[in-house]
Amino acid sequence: MNKIGRIYFLVGVICVFLTILFTPVFAQAIAINSDAAVLIDAVSGRVLWQKNAETPLPPASTTKILTAVTAIDLSDCDQVCQISPLAAAVGESSIHLQAGECLTLLDLLQGALIRSGNDASYAIGEAVAGTEPLFVSLMNLKAQALGAKTVQFNNTNGLPSEGHVVSALDLALIARYGMTKDVFTDIVKKRTATIGEGSSRRTIKSTNKLLWQSDSITGIKTGTTDDAGACLVASMERDGIKLISVVFNSPSRYDESLRLLNYGMDNYSSIQTVKKGDIIAAVPVLNGESKYVRLVTANEGYTLCSKEEIDGLQVEWNFKQNLKAPIKKEEPLGVMIVKNTKEEVIQKIDLLAVNEVKSNDIFGVWADKIKDFLFGYRND
């Protein structure tokens, strides 16, 4: 081999070495050109990837996710709703409701979530709260109750309105809650649906084209206005892993959403840390008929971990100190915390008392009896 050949050979060896060394890093890199985006684990809520995820932005028709979950929590989906002239007059994206016709709330939810009907969303607000403005107030309260900090909605459908905003992270949080509701999950995964009866019967087709691109896609909702750009909240389930992505003002919302979701599937694994009812500890109890109370996990412990995190998981148990009887069965007395090597909390599970512990303090016993006598009336 001549000198030139040796140089080319050396360069080749170096290139192979660098490729092997940096391939894991490149494999995990992902370029998203949306103004804001986030990917979360739908089970734990853990953020797996984010870009400007806490910046409030106009969400367009993804607003209807909060409209739907608020209505589902407040009303019976079999409720019959008469369409008002105000609802029928709402324009742009529409399921062409007519004033005076009657549909069930479930029909309207499907019209809003599947076909993105602005008229259906307005009708939902009127049916549940009497007026859309009052229902919007309930939506904002619901968002706050779910822990969303940036929600400020002015309508039920996401039509352009000054100050109508939410962050990608908060919208993912709301969508995650929605995906715990059977009615919601059944609707958002549908490609088509037939709603209404008689003259009100109509077939609608989903605006979410991602549903046709992969059988693993389980929803959720599109949104498009000139102000917000192209938005999409998407979900995927595969091999026990459930993910939710959000993109705002994306130049290619379906491609970017699919890349985010596949990134999560390719780089994370579902790990079971505990089973529901696992006994974690026996904690001392003062003034109790029993000296200890056993603590068990409140639910199944699944968390998503990257391949690098699996071997470095750390578990902490925090118990209430100086416990005194009486203690009620299933009373929360501690928490199990799972952290990764960066000390980031990736899972929390409540620890509950497995049994009741009565007090052996005579004064405490009589105090409980007096309290039961005064306030513990029953209609047996």
Shortest CA distance to 59 belongs to which of 88, 35, 91, 32? Answer: 35
Asked whether residue 219 falls in the same domain as residue 353, the answer is no
Please say if 64 is a catalytic residue: yes
pLDDT attached to residue 312: 86
Number of domains within the chain: 2
How does 139-170 read in b/e, with b if 16+ C-beta sit within 10 Å? bbebbeebebebbebbbbbbbeeeebbbbbbb
Please say if 61 is a catalytic residue: yes
CATH number of the domain that residue 318 is part of: 2.60.410.10
Which residue of the set 116, 167, 206, 257 is catalytic? Answer: 116
Asked whether residue 73 falls in the same domain as residue 111, the answer is yes
Asked whether residue 298 falls in the same domain as residue 171, the answer is no
Could you report the average pLDDT of every consecutive run of 10 residues in the chain (380 residues)?
47 39 46 97 94 98 98 98 98 96 98 98 98 98 98 98 98 98 98 97 98 97 98 96 98 98 95 91 91 93 85 89 92 93 88 92 64 57
For helices 118-129 and 64-74, give the axis angle rounded to 10 degrees.
Answer: 30
Asked whether residue 134 falls in the same domain as residue 49, the answer is yes
Which residue of the set 34, 44, 51, 64 is catalytic? Answer: 64
Asked whether residue 146 falls in the same domain as residue 245, the answer is yes
Residue 379 lies in a domain: no
| H or E element at residue 145 | helix 132-145
Name the residue range of residue 327's domain.
Answer: 275-363
Residues in the chain: 380
CATH number of the domain that residue 123 is part of: 3.40.710.10
First to last CA, the chain: 99
Asked whether residue 145 falls in the same domain as residue 192, the answer is yes
pLDDT attached to residue 363: 62
Taking phi over 0 as left and psi of -120 to 50 as alpha, with beta for the rest, 171 belongs to alpha
C-alpha triplet 288, 294, 298: angle, nearest 5°: 125
Which residue of the set 34, 44, 51, 61 is catalytic? Answer: 61
pLDDT attached to residue 14: 42
pTM score, whole prediction? 0.82
Asked whether residue 142 falls in the same domain as residue 122, the answer is yes
Asked whether residue 137 falls in the same domain as residue 225, the answer is yes
Asked whether residue 253 falls in the same domain as residue 282, the answer is no
Residue 355 lies in a domain: yes
Asked whether residue 164 falls in the same domain as residue 295, the answer is no
Residue 62 lies in a domain: yes
Give the whole-angstrom CA distance, residue 110 versus residue 115: 7
pLDDT attached to residue 362: 62
pLDDT attached to residue 378: 46
